[in-house]
Amino acid sequence: MASEYTYLLTQKAEADLDGIVSYLSLELANAKAASDFVGNLQDVIEETLLFPLSGSLVNNEFLPDTAVRKKVIGKYVMYYLTDLEQHIIYILRLIYGRRSVEEIFKTVGNLISAYGKARCPSWATRFSISIS
Residues 61-89 have pLDDT tens digits of: 666 667 889 999 999 999 999 999 999 99
Q: Which run of H or E residues covers position 23?
A: none
Strand-pair partners of 95? 77
Query: What's residue 62's pLDDT?
Result: 66
Query: What's residue 3's pLDDT?
Result: 81
- What does the alpha-carbon distance between residue 85 and residue 23 come to, in Å, rounded to a whole number? 36
